[in-house]
Structure 1
């Protein structure tokens, strides 16, 4: 037998407390002188013996309770007769399997899964194993238990996700699983491609408990050349047939080799409308611009795509561009000499190359009441000079859902 907390055995000395209390508080007969004993009640000797025996049993029970309490706090356990078998039975291992986005690189997760299977197959029959998938967070697929068959089945079902990587929180979770695993060898197997972005240097450090061994297993690919479309900026809605703005694609080279003459395509509805050839230095990035192409009416599926890369998941960036009609707007003003009353309004609504508004400026006398319905919004800059007939037409226009700004 051994004890997890042998220091608590010192509490067994507390068993002497009831004995001391019994000795201190033991009743002593007081000696008194009497002229005659004829008036005192006689007590049989056997009654005194019974009371003495009962008090001794109570004392023993109190001592035993304190002894058992001290032993319970020391957490005893039975060891195996075979030291080698005992060490194997009490071993605990946590397998941390990286399931982040970078593990989708061809062959990487397969190597990681095979490394985990090898660890499970080499484990002793009674060794406790936990299986944890991690990315930005973590998922405990199997808590600590001696079940190699279940661990192998779960590994067959596991796959990489789309999250980033956070090694510190994964190691902290594994250490927490091992804290209550009892005595014996404790190991954390960290299986990953060890991307540098997974080490959060701003986070507080994670300290592994004493006696826990951290064993890294590298599953990265020997050649990790990768081009990626990191981001795309584009106007989601345009109001002219020709795309007046710019589609800006951020292309990055994550490999140690320079990229020569790669094509970057802009596709609308699966058709290539623009193509750029680029060159990128090792670990460099570049902004690629597309403009001047035609947009069909309605919603358009758009894609920026780069070719010639083994890791194809980040070679495309999808977005949508919708072409809408401009909002026809009528501004009514009073005829005047010099600068128009709607001069500043006209320039404000026409600002930029992708203006939503098509503004027409007319005097009250030049407005034909029958053409009002062709506009969505009417701006009355000055109500002077508006005839009763035009006023009634504008009121009817508003009643039918048209917009009016006075």
Structure 2
């Protein structure tokens, strides 16, 4: 039993007042001299004892009245065990059980389950209980139910917490909503967690629990903790074969009430350790470790960065993949090659495709007479630049190449005969080629606009206009 105003208990001293009065006013029987005793009546000892007991009972009754008045003013509150005997006000309650990743530390989750079961032991048969197991959001929800035994089984069946982050406010909102439909006015929420600071982020300061809902916080976090956490890893996702040496960065942070000063970070590729580095956190809580790695061959590499040096291993590993792709083989069939580089159409195409070291393309240039089925089989993309002298056999091989999944880029020019082109490639081209007249001297064409939403042009992210202001006036006289 507890008292809401315990200072009134000092009034219990007033119960001693009747006792004090009784002791003060108690008189000894007087001695009287009688000449004869024949005028005295004999009294039974039992009657004297009964009168004495009456006086004591009256004394105790007076003291009890004063004590009861004092206790009433002290406002006593019965504890749960006594409340069960007197059938106290039934309760509607929601148990919020934290199952986030931080609860995997030490015995946090075992202690949390024990606390949850202890809370269940406080309820009587008339109470109704709900359960919400949560991390970033609710992962297990059992609505209000008078069957406390089923809630107990659910708690016991949760073997271990997950790997999610901690968020308190969304789950407190959910618990508050569950209590909106409760049968009883006596409502409470029991939040069992290790109370990580990150769980209070994105808090809504304007939101409050409904009036009359009591919030009971039960902390099961370890008093002291130490941990090395791998907070971030930066690694390339895709590379081209023969790429330069790459760097993989790992960020490690020391957290907890005791900061660890030493540790080790290792890097493994496809199950084989390729490098390791020590940690020196004596004068800082965070360190970035750099690994230099070469991906020699094409394929998919499965990487693992792992930290060692602490007892909590759940946040010590980070996994990633790197896809090393082969270069795209481009076969350029140049129909208008020239000894002068500025007149050679293949020269400008080559600059656009493979002029940089990091280009994803591998370019091979041939004349139209060299085009063969063997050359096509070794190519991912074929580009025809103003090629108009292909044989029927070469055209048929190109058609088969496209039908089998090959990519073909055609840029017809003045050497291409429209009728022959349509006859050779009509099956695979999206449109028919028509003859056009050459522009006269001084005439030019302008690219007035283009479809910026087209998938080919969307990556350019540009808003420019292109135009030809005119030809060189003297190019024909050279």
TM bracket, shorter-chain basis = 0.5 to 0.7
Q: Does residue 154 in structure 1 map to residue 154 in structure 2?
A: yes
Q: Does residue 107 in structure 1 map to residue 107 in structure 2?
A: yes
Quote how far apart the aligned CAs of 1:104 are: 2.1
Q: What does residue 59 of structure 1 align with? A: none
* CA–CA separation in structure 2 for the residues paired with 1:106 and 1:342: 68
* CA–CA separation in structure 2 for the residues paired with 1:229 and 1:351: 40
8 Å CA contact 1:328–1:377 kept in 2: the answer is yes
TM-score computed with the length of structure 2 as normaliser: 0.58
- Helix, strand or coil for the counterpart of 1:203? coil
Q: What does residue 380 of structure 1 align with? A: 384
Which stretch shifts more, 274-283 or 152-161? 274-283
Q: What does residue 330 of structure 1 align with? A: 331
* CA–CA separation in structure 1 for the residues paired with 2:149 and 2:254: 42
Question: For residues 143 and 346 of structure 1, do their structure 2 counterparts lie closer, same or farther at Cα, with a shift above 3 Å needed?
Answer: same
- Helix, strand or coil for the counterpart of 1:206? coil
Question: For residues 256 and 353 of structure 1, do their structure 2 counterparts lie closer, same or farther at Cα, with a shift above 3 Å needed?
Answer: farther
Quote how far apart the aligned CAs of 1:214 are: 1.0
Q: Does residue 405 in structure 1 map to residue 405 in structure 2?
A: no
8 Å CA contact 1:257–1:282 kept in 2: the answer is no
Which stretch shifts more, 391-400 or 218-227? 391-400
Q: What does residue 123 of structure 1 align with? A: 123
8 Å CA contact 1:229–1:317 kept in 2: the answer is yes
Quote how far apart the aligned CAs of 1:331 are: 2.4
Instruction: Decide which structure has the larger Cα Rg and report it.
Output: 2
- Aligned ranges 1:8-47 → 2 under 5 Å: none
* CA–CA separation in structure 2 for the residues paired with 1:260 and 1:351: 49
Q: What does residue 293 of structure 2 align with? A: 292
- Helix, strand or coil for the counterpart of 1:254? strand
Aligned residues: 321
* CA–CA separation in structure 2 for the residues paired with 1:240 and 1:192: 50
8 Å CA contact 1:304–1:318 kept in 2: the answer is yes
- Aligned ranges 1:185-204 → 2 under 5 Å: 185-203=186-204
- Aligned ranges 1:267-346 → 2 under 5 Å: 267-280=268-281, 284-333=285-334, 334-338=337-341, 341-343=345-347, 345-346=349-350
Q: What does residue 235 of structure 2 align with? A: 234
Q: What does residue 57 of structure 2 align with? A: none
- Helix, strand or coil for the counterpart of 1:118? helix
Quote how far apart the aligned CAs of 1:206 are: 2.8
- Helix, strand or coil for the counterpart of 2:182? coil
Q: What does residue 23 of structure 1 align with? A: none
Output one character per residue of 1:183-237: Cα deviation in whole Å (capped at 9) or x when no partner: 4543211111111121143535331223322111111123333333334333333
* CA–CA separation in structure 1 for the residues paired with 2:136 and 2:390: 69
8 Å CA contact 1:190–1:217 kept in 2: the answer is yes
- Helix, strand or coil for the counterpart of 2:221? coil
Question: For residues 397 and 227 of structure 1, do their structure 2 counterparts lie closer, same or farther at Cα, with a shift above 3 Å needed?
Answer: farther
Quote how far apart the aligned CAs of 1:243 are: 6.0
* CA–CA separation in structure 2 for the residues paired with 1:185 and 1:238: 63
Q: What does residue 218 of structure 2 align with? A: 217
Question: For residues 153 and 250 of structure 1, do their structure 2 counterparts lie closer, same or farther at Cα, with a shift above 3 Å needed?
Answer: same
* CA–CA separation in structure 2 for the residues paired with 1:164 and 1:318: 19
8 Å CA contact 1:328–1:359 kept in 2: the answer is yes
Q: What does residue 181 of structure 1 align with? A: 182
8 Å CA contact 1:255–1:283 kept in 2: the answer is no
Quote how far apart the aligned CAs of 1:364 are: 5.1
* CA–CA separation in structure 1 for the residues paired with 2:222 and 2:83: 41
Output one character per residue of 1:366-391: Cα deviation in whole Å (capped at 9) or x when no partner: x46465232222223443xx6445x8
Question: For residues 179 and 372 of structure 1, do their structure 2 counterparts lie closer, same or farther at Cα, with a shift above 3 Å needed?
Answer: closer
* CA–CA separation in structure 2 for the residues paired with 1:269 and 1:101: 27
- Helix, strand or coil for the counterpart of 1:163? coil
Question: For residues 221 and 382 of structure 1, do their structure 2 counterparts lie closer, same or farther at Cα, with a shift above 3 Å needed?
Answer: farther
Quote how far apart the aligned CAs of 1:116 are: 0.9
Question: For residues 405 and 285 of structure 1, do their structure 2 counterparts lie closer, same or farther at Cα, with a shift above 3 Å needed?
Answer: farther
Question: For residues 237 and 207 of structure 1, do their structure 2 counterparts lie closer, same or farther at Cα, with a shift above 3 Å needed?
Answer: closer
Q: Does residue 94 in structure 1 map to residue 94 in structure 2?
A: yes
* CA–CA separation in structure 2 for the residues paired with 1:252 and 1:350: 43
* CA–CA separation in structure 2 for the residues paired with 1:174 and 1:87: 26
- Helix, strand or coil for the counterpart of 2:198? helix
Question: For residues 231 and 361 of structure 1, do their structure 2 counterparts lie closer, same or farther at Cα, with a shift above 3 Å needed?
Answer: farther
8 Å CA contact 1:99–1:134 kept in 2: the answer is yes
Q: Does residue 164 in structure 1 map to residue 168 in structure 2?
A: no
